[in-house]
Every structure is written in C-alpha cells, then in structure tokens.
Amino acid sequence: MTCLHCFRNANCTKIVVLLCLTYINKFIFIFCLKCFSKMSYANQSQTLNIINFNITGQQYQGLLERVLFSTLIGMPCCVFLFINGTMLFTLRSKLVFRETSRYILLYNLLFADTAQLAFSQLLYIFAACRIMLTYPVCGVLVMLTKLTNEISPLTLVVMSLERYVAVCYPLRHATIATIRNTAVAIIVVWAISLLNVFTRVLLLLNFPFKDLESLQMTDVCSDIQMLVDPITDHYDKAYTYFLFVSATVPIISSYIGVMIAARSASADKASASKARNTLLLHLVQLGLSLFSNMHTYIVQSLSTTLQRLILVRINSVFYVFIYILPRCLSSLIYGLRDQTIRPILLYHLCCRLTLSHLSKD
C-alpha cells in the first residue's frame, strides 16, 4: 500500500524517473568512455608505429648518406695520397733534387701537405663512424694536424723568397740558396710551428679537466672541440691573423720585385715570367691554406643559424675543397710544370709504361 501510494504521488514519480535517468546517463558515459579509450589507444599505437618508421627511415638515410659521403671523399683522398707519395719518392730519387734548394723546399711542403691530409682523413673517418675519443687522444691528433697545416704557408714564404733571389740577384743565388741555408730555413719553419703547438698545449692544460667526470668526449673529435677555453679561442684567432699578415706581405713583395725586375733590360724575360707565375701560384696556395685555418670560425658562425644536418653537409664540402684539393695542388703544379720532375713523376705514376714505350721507339 505504501509503495502504491508513493507511485501515485507525483513527487515520488519524479524522484523515480530522475534516479532512472541518472543511472542511464552513468551507463552511457562509462560505455562511451571505454569506446573512446579503445579508439585513442588504437590511434596512439598507429601514431607510434608511424613515428618509429620515420625514425628508422631517418637513421637509414643518415647511414646511407654517411657511407656515400665517406666513399666520395675517401677515394679522392687515397688517390691524392698516392700522388703525393709518388712525388715525395721522386724528389728523393735523384741527386739533383736532393742538392737543389727549391726542390728541398718543395719536398718539405709536400711532406707537410701529405701528413696533414692523412691526419685530416683520419679525423674524418672517426667522425663518420661516430667514434668518440678521449680528450688526450683527440688533442694529440688535432695538434699534429695544426702543426702540419701551419708549416705550408711558412714554407711558401721561403720558396717565394728563393724565387725572388733567383730572379733579382742571380749572381748571388748560388751563395745564398745553399743546402745549409735551406736546412736552417726549414728548421726555423718547423720551430715556429712547434712553438705555436706548444703554446696551444699550455693553454689547454689550464682547462680544469680534473673537474670532469670522465675524459671521454661526448662529441666527435675536431679542432672546434679543442677550443675549450676562451683564451685558446682568442690566441687561435690572433695567431691566424699574424700568420696571414706575415705570409702575405713577403709573397706579395716578392711578386712585385719580380715584376719590376722583369721590366729591366738586363733580366732574363723567360725566367722572370716563369718566376712570376710561380709566385702567383704561391699566393693562391697561401690563400687556400689560410682559408683552411679560418675554417673553424666559418663553421662556428654557421652553427648558430643552420641545422646540424645541413652544417655537417656543408662541412663535408668544405673539407673537400679546403683540405683535400689544396693538398694535392703542389704535386700537380710543380710536378707537371717542372721539366726536370715531369718525366720522372710520370714514369713512377704510370708504372714504367713511359719507359717501355720509349724503349720501343
């Protein structure tokens, strides 16, 4: 009776209807929530699969690109190392090369270029293979690269002065450009470069490496990673400017002196013209060599505006045109221009084909 009376009451009817609607809404909400969760989980799984696929594709593309760049850079480097090695062997094969001042200086230049090319290629292989070195090992490789890289412009200065003496003071050339004086000049060149490297090492020792958790590097080895202290960066810039000025002024002065001597009536026109072209080539080589010293600052300035992948590609292109090609110019320029070196160099490069052809004739 009580229940029937309650159902007949309008207020009780409203309460029952509200309770039913509440339970129905809860059921619909829970059902939709479960369906939405399943749909979200499915969409999330599909999204994760797409992301994983893209990451795998990017990693594969990065590996393929590294292999492609390493092949395109490694093959010319091996060819140039073979040419430079053959040129070095040629310059030691004859007595006239071992007792002539300009050939001795050329040998020193080629030796520094070949060593610098080998060290640079070794660092490039470490970077391409993502091999992380320790700070001491990286420091030794970078300092050896710096040493051989800075010998080239200083040797070009001595070679330019030798050509200037040969054209402007031909009668005194034999007494000035002796083997002893040439050896002293080479020793001075190496001493200046070694002093610069020793100064860099002292600046590196001021860095608190003992405060680091490990001497293992977190990035690939390069000369940029060795600029660990602002003082080292300032010294590197100052020495680069000093090297640029101290090498450019003598070469330009020698070029102007040879041009003035070529206009005089007593000068040998052919010899002066050849010396002028040689000095012009020295100036081009000096520009490429000094540009390689400024490569670090160019990369640093580009790193603030470009992405890392684009920067790596640009750095690879710079490596080919700044480091590899200039290191082989000396062998090609002097080996093919010099009438004394050319037949012997071609003989060694062509594996005696030239000699057999001449014997048949």
pLDDT of 49 over the 70 cut:
no
- pLDDT value of position 296: 67
**54 within some domain:** no
Residue 63 binned pLDDT confidence (cut-offs 50, 70, 90): low
| Residue 3 region by backbone torsions, left for phi larger than 0, else alpha for psi between -120 and 50, else beta | alpha
Q: Is the distance from CB of 117 to CB of 84 less than 8 angstroms?
A: yes
Which tokens go with 99? 């007792």
Q: Check residues 326 and 95 and name the one with the higher pLDDT.
A: 95
CATH number at residue 199: 1.20.1070.10
Q: Which of 9-18, 60-69, 167-176, 246-255 has the lowest mean pLDDT?
A: 9-18
Residue 12 belongs to a domain: no
With 0-12 / 13-18 / 19 or more C-beta atoms within 10 angstroms meaning exposed / middle / buried, residue 235 is middle
Answer yes or no: is 229 within a domain.
yes
Task: Identify whether 40 is part of a domain.
Answer: no
Measured CA to CA, the distance from residue 320 to residue 62 in angstroms comes to 19
Instruction: Tell me if 243 is assigned to some domain.
Output: yes
At residue 1, the pLDDT reads 44
What average pLDDT does the segment 296-315 reach? 73
**Which residues neighbour 163 within 8 Å (Cβ) at sequence distance 6 or greater?**
102, 254, 258, 275, 278, 279, 282
Domain that includes residue 290, residue range: 68-352
276 lies in some domain? yes
Q: Is residue 60 part of a domain?
A: no
Torsion of CA 228, 234, 235, 238, to 10 degrees: 150
Whether residue 196 has pLDDT greater than 50: yes
SS (H, E, C) the chain: CHHHHHHHCHHHHHHHHHHHHHHHHHHHHHHHHHHHHHHHHHHHHHHHHHHHHHHHHHHHHHHHHHHHHHHHHHHHHHHHHHHHHHHHHHHCCCHHHHCCHHHHHHHHHHHHHHHHHHHHHHHHHHHHCCCCCEHHHHHHHHHHHHHHHHHHHHHHHHHHHHHHHHHHCCCCHHHHCCHHHHHHHHHHHHHHHHHHHHHHHHHHHCCCHHHCCCCECCCCCCCCCCCCCHHHHHHHHHHHHHHHHHHHHHHHHHHHHHHHHHHCCCCCHHHHHHHHHHHHHHHHHHHHHHHHHCHHHHHHHHHCCCCHHHHHHHHHHHHHHHHHHHHHHHHHHHHHHCCCHHHHHHHHHCCCHHHHHHHHC
Residue 46 lies in a domain: no
How many domains would you assign to the chain? 1
User: What percentage of the chain reaches a pLDDT higher than 90?
Assistant: 11
What band does 60 get if pLDDT is binned at 50, 70 and 90? very low
